[in-house]
Structure 1
Amino acid sequence: MDNNIKNKVVVITGASSGLGEETARHLAERGAKLVLGARREDKLQEVVNEIIAKGGTALFRLTDVTDKAQVQALVDAAVVTYGKIDVLINNAGIMPIAPMSEVRTEEWDSMIDVNIKGLLYGIAAALPLFQKQESGHFINLGSVAGIKVFSPGGTVYSGTKYAVRAITEGLRHEVGRSIRTTTIEPGAVDSELKLSTNHKESSAGVNEFYEMAIPAASVARAIAFAIEQPADVDINEIVLRPTAQDF
């Protein structure tokens, strides 16, 4: 039975671990053609090899989402290989947690560069193609921290995830006649995101918080749900968190 995922070309950033890796595996099992981008070649190669060994279709390109040209090259690789893109999953993200009083401006810059500008570079690369095709689907990874401010410690991170939500909603309003937009807003999910924190006290708190984390496969299933809907159904927002999470 056609699951509306089979043979779709799906580009994923941040695909070498965590949510990106699990989503790639899950969609490959359902017949999608994957184009994976991240900074770690060994991990990307491992994921692609595993997908191919199981009969799936995947390729990768080294991609730092803070470099607009590299994001464009990732999208171009999908078009050259498969002739189109059906879905772009802007998944790359970082979450260094520390109180504002620590004034870690380099970490603030990095979050803005990866979580906001990286997302915008993805949109910039794929949107003209989607408009030409008169079809396409942006899936942007937000967070429950983009619904309620995660403070103390996550104030700037929350700011970036509020931006993801706002940009995705504005994009929906501007181009939504034939292009779909989805914001996925997870709570604590088992991934490398929690490892972004270098502030000692904050890191201990983050690790304790993530003891309740649900598997990354939970998010992969939510993403698949959004993709598999008929073309005239747009799942704009999915919030999921551990049952035990009160934030």
Structure 2
Amino acid sequence: MSTVITSTPLAGRTAVVTGASSGIGQATAERLAALGAHVAVMARRRDRLDALVGRITAAGGTALAVPLDVTDRDAVRAAADYVAAELGPAGLVFANAGVQLISAIDELRIEDWQRQIDLNITGVMNTIGAFVPQLVRVADDGQTSDLITTSSIAATRVLEKFSVYSGTKAYLSQLTRLLRVELGRKMVRVSTIEPGMVDTELPDHVTDPDASKLMADLINDIDVLRPADVAETVAFIASVPRHVNLTEITVLPTQQAI
């Protein structure tokens, strides 16, 4: 298969990125805009979204800030209508918002459990529910349409104290496989990315001292992934020919052994 990738392979496409105020989401929004997509960026922190939009527009791109909490179903549905009205129907949705709160199960940090379930699962489902109609509409018009989620290697690896987080990511990996069966028939591609250790804000959210030290040591000891590395992977998934669906991609630091 011979593929020619132009400098703006995503030109004309409307992209939605959740969790866009930092890390992988922020880097991906900037990369998709650089490749020609009109990008709607979503997260709770308005100031960071505004700064992101400023950088994208200064570089010649098009971006729209949509402050919201993805756990609020009505807000996400309203945002979907707003994006369609301002930029056109979304043909690329990167459901990336998530949180990682690591602790031993017998510590009974139930609020942390619930927060991970609410954001990592319910937030993604709210995003899917709001934007799948647009993705299908775009595909029906003969255009490329992508739904991409952020899972983790924790979805398949047995990592101590990661039980709830890993469970939420296993849900996303399996959900992607199942949705591809349904949406693939409609020419909507469904993919998930399973990164290893990425230098983002997520380790800062870990309150368990031992788990926090483990992650800090890993960042210090090896050359871990940068958000831009994952962003490039998302861009590649979205840029391949319409009949090609890269369903699951694991991205690891070369030196990561756990």
TM-score class, shorter-chain normalisation, is over 0.9
Residue 232 in 1 paired to residue 237 in 2? no
Question: SS state of the match for residue 254, structure 2?
Answer: coil
- Segments of structure 1 that go 5 or more residues without pairing to the other structure are none
CA 1:75/1:149 → structure 2, altered by over 3 Å: closer, same or farther?
farther
Give the TM-score normalised by structure 2: 0.92
- The 2-side partners of 1:76 and 1:88 are apart by 14
CA-CA distance at 1:3 after TM superposition = 4.5
2:31 to 26, 29, 34: 26
Q: What is the aligned partner in structure 1 of residue 157 from structure 2?
A: 148
Q: What is the aligned partner in structure 2 of residue 219 from structure 1?
A: 230
Question: SS state of the match for residue 153, structure 1?
Answer: coil
Residue 185 in 1 paired to residue 190 in 2? no
Q: What is the aligned partner in structure 1 of residue 257 from structure 2?
A: 246
Q: How does 1:124-135 map to 2 (within 5 A)?
A: 124-133=129-138, 134=140
Q: What is the aligned partner in structure 2 of residue 162 from structure 1?
A: 170
- The 2-side partners of 1:224 and 1:188 are apart by 19
Amino acid at match of 1:219: V
Kept in 2: contact 1:3–1:228 (CA 8 A):
no
Residue 81 in 1 paired to residue 89 in 2? no
CA-CA distance at 1:104 after TM superposition = 0.6
- The 1-side partners of 2:158 and 2:192 are apart by 17
Q: How does 1:65-76 map to 2 (within 5 A)?
A: 65-76=70-81
Question: SS state of the match for residue 84, structure 1?
Answer: coil
CA-CA distance at 1:27 after TM superposition = 1.2
Q: Once structures 1 and 2 are overlaid, which stretch shifts more, 220-229 or 203-212? A: 203-212
- Segments of structure 2 that go 5 or more residues without pairing to the other structure are 1-5
Kept in 1: contact 2:91–2:134 (CA 8 A):
no
- The 2-side partners of 1:71 and 1:153 are apart by 31
Per-residue CA deviations over 1:62-92 (Å, capped at 9, x if unaligned) read 1111111122222222101122111110000
Q: What is the aligned partner in structure 1 of residue 180 from structure 2?
A: 172
2:106 to 87, 96, 101: 101
Aligned residues: 246
- The 1-side partners of 2:148 and 2:67 are apart by 20
